[in-house]
Amino acid sequence: MALRPFWKGYLKLSLVTCPVALTPAVTESEKLRFHTLDRKTGHRVVSRYVDAESGEPVEKDEQAKGYPRGEKDYVLLEDGELEAIRLESAHTIDIETFAPASDIDWIWYDRPHYLTPDDPVGEEAFAVIRDAMRSTHTVGVARLVLHARERAVMLEPRDKGVVLWTLRYGDELRDPKDYFGAIGGGEIDPEAMSLVATLIEQRKKRWNPEMVADPVQTRLLDIIAEKKKSRRRPAKPKARTEAEAPPSNVVDIMDALRKSIASEAKPSKRL
């Protein structure tokens, strides 16, 4: 079932404007969440904001935003001051720039949202902008206020709609040279490359969402179901036998690759 939009406003390109709605493209509603309980009473434990010095609770209307300028010294910002700096992008996605779709690397992508027309009258304008980006292989770059913070966003045509990606800020990305720069650049053994390519070909499959299923959550659901039925706790995993012991870290890569390919090539036994 489609979720209700969490944001409504306008998509604008020059003098063309149409009402649009924004809905998260991902959800965590199926993710297992646990409550913290008092082990003795079984009651839920709640969290509260307290004064770090006095330990006294601080109610919501007494809380304020502060920026540290020294030890135990803060610049206070009032809600009115924060509200005053919000831009038009709180209600309008004004496409300022278009860029080749291949120019924005995946590492800049943050969270995806579905952008859809919010009025039948505006569907034509929405469709024209969407199809023009598709035909020119470009994406739109704009700004939008989400959750009280202005974000750079990218608009990408997808099917009959548009996927709006919030983009990461420049100071959020670490320079890959700091991590990859020290990796050796020696020559690769052509035979090893050929063997790995064979392994890749043997394991290649069409993409399926089941490839990224969460086995831990599945097992947790099994444990919860068992506990609901008042069954005994699952037995502890058996100790590893010699045959199950993890392989040594010291291996001959060529020998390991050949054995891997041989095992992959064997037909799997059906139960």
139 — pLDDT class (breaks 50, 70, 90): very high
For the segment 208-254, what is each residue's pLDDT rounded down to a tens digit? 877 777 777 777 777 777 777 865 555 566 665 555 555 554 457 77
C-alpha pair distances (Å), 236 with each of 226, 232, 233, 239, 240: 15, 12, 9, 9, 12
Positive/negative CA dihedral, 151, 24, 4, 118 = positive
Cβ atoms of 175 and 168 within 8 Å: the answer is no
CATH entry, 7-26+85-170, from 2.30.300.10, 3.40.50.12280, 2.40.290.10, 3.30.300.30: 2.40.290.10
Q: Is 240 left (phi over 0), alpha (psi -120 to 50) or beta?
A: beta
Pairing of strands 16-24, 138-146: unpaired
Would you state the pLDDT for residue 247? 53
Would you state the pLDDT for residue 215? 73
| Structure tokens, 126 | 């929405």
Helix (H, G, I), strand (E, B) or coil at 132: helix
Lowest mean pLDDT among 94-98, 185-189, 230-234: 230-234
Phi, psi of 95 (to 5 degrees): -70, 110
The pLDDT mean for the chain works out to 82
Given a cut of 70, whether residue 20 has pLDDT beyond it is: yes
Phi, psi of 92 (to 5 degrees): -135, 135
With tokens 């202005």, the residue in question is 150
For the segment 66-84, what is each residue's pLDDT rounded down to a tens digit? 888 888 788 887 777 666 6
Count of residues making up the chain: 271
Lowest mean pLDDT among 11-25, 82-96, 247-261: 247-261
Q: Enter the DSSP assignment of 37.
A: B
| Structure tokens, 41 | 């009473």
Would you state the pLDDT for residue 240? 58
Would you state the pLDDT for residue 21? 95
For the segment 116-131, what is each residue's pLDDT rounded down to a tens digit? 999 998 899 999 999 9
Would you state the pLDDT for residue 1? 56
190-203 and 253-265 helices, crossing angle to 10°: 30
Cβ atoms of 254 and 191 within 8 Å: the answer is yes
Lowest mean pLDDT among 1-10, 48-57, 192-201, 244-253: 244-253
| Structure tokens, 87 | 């831009």
189 — pLDDT class (breaks 50, 70, 90): confident
Given a cut of 80, whether residue 85 has pLDDT beyond it is: no
Given a cut of 90, whether residue 103 has pLDDT beyond it is: yes
Q: Locate the domains of the chain by residue range.
A: 7-26+85-170
User: Please, what is the Cα angle at 112 between 110 and 113, to 5 degrees?
Assistant: 140
Cβ atoms of 104 and 155 within 8 Å: the answer is no
Percent of the chain with pLDDT over 70: 84
Q: Choose between 82 and 101: higher pLDDT.
A: 101
Phi, psi of 114 (to 5 degrees): -95, 125
Would you state the pLDDT for residue 125? 93
Closest CA to 204 of 246, 264, 258, 256: 264
Sheet containing strand 149-158, strands side by side? 92-94, 7-13, 16-24, 109-117, 161-167, 149-158, 138-146, 97-100
